Amino acid sequence: MSEETWTSDERAAGSSTLRLGAEAQKRLRRLDQLAILLDESIRIPGSGYRIGYDAVIGLVPGIGDLAGLLVGSYIVVEAARFRIPKTTLARMVANVAVEALAGMVPVVGDVFDAVYKANLRNIRLLHRRLETADRSPVGDRLFLIVLLLLPVALLAAMAALLFYVAALLF
């Protein structure tokens, strides 16, 4: 299966729960179940594609997207309790933010919600960090560097555009 259609069965084959205590394993299972409920619990007949209640609730203007943002944020807060690296938490927050922002756009945002599946992405990130001894993976560090450089690049692009427009006018 592709990474986009990751399921609880595939996750169960992993070893992320082996080093966790019983209570932490229960929390992780609850988060897994919540992510599946939100992103893959409803099978679309005839297609084999699955969507979740996040996409359905997102159809309600305003309230649906807010509800999705709150539940997605809950998953990130619970992931933080596992003491995973802050860079991974930043990626998780970005996933929730991207889905919430895109979800604000009527119709297109609803389709994006059904395809992007931020909650499952975040659960995959959580499992990967729990399975690896490397507490700050290269992918997380690169993400953080890009995240920090993005505002600088945007400012530079805005300044270049301003100079270009000023040169045209004067």
Look at the chain and report how many structural domains it folds into: 2
Domain that holds residue 114: 3-134
pTM: 0.71
Encode pLDDT of 57-115 as tens digits: 989 887 888 899 999 999 999 998 888 888 888 899 999 999 988 988 888 988 999 99
Same domain, 81 and 163: no
Picking from 31, 133, 113, the residue whose alpha carbon sits closest to that of residue 65 is 113
Same domain, 48 and 87: yes
Same domain, 91 and 146: no
Helix locations, 52-137, DSSP H: 53-57, 63-80, 86-103, 108-116, 118-131
Same domain, 104 and 56: yes
Same domain, 121 and 151: no
Looking at residue 136, what is its pLDDT? 60
Same domain, 18 and 86: yes
Same domain, 152 and 164: yes
Q: Which secondary-structure segment (H or E) carries 43? A: strand 42-43
> What distance in Å separates the CA atoms of residue 109 and residue 106, rounded to the nearest whole number?
6
Same domain, 79 and 159: no
Encode pLDDT of 106-160 as tens digits: 889 889 999 999 999 999 999 998 887 655 666 666 766 776 676 677 777 878 8
Same domain, 58 and 99: yes
Is 70 exceeded by the pLDDT of residue 23? yes
Same domain, 36 and 90: yes
Give the pLDDT band of residue 48 (cuts 50, 70, 90): confident
Mean pLDDT of 37-48: 93
Same domain, 129 and 144: no
Same domain, 21 and 92: yes
Identify the three-state secondary structure at position 50. Answer: strand
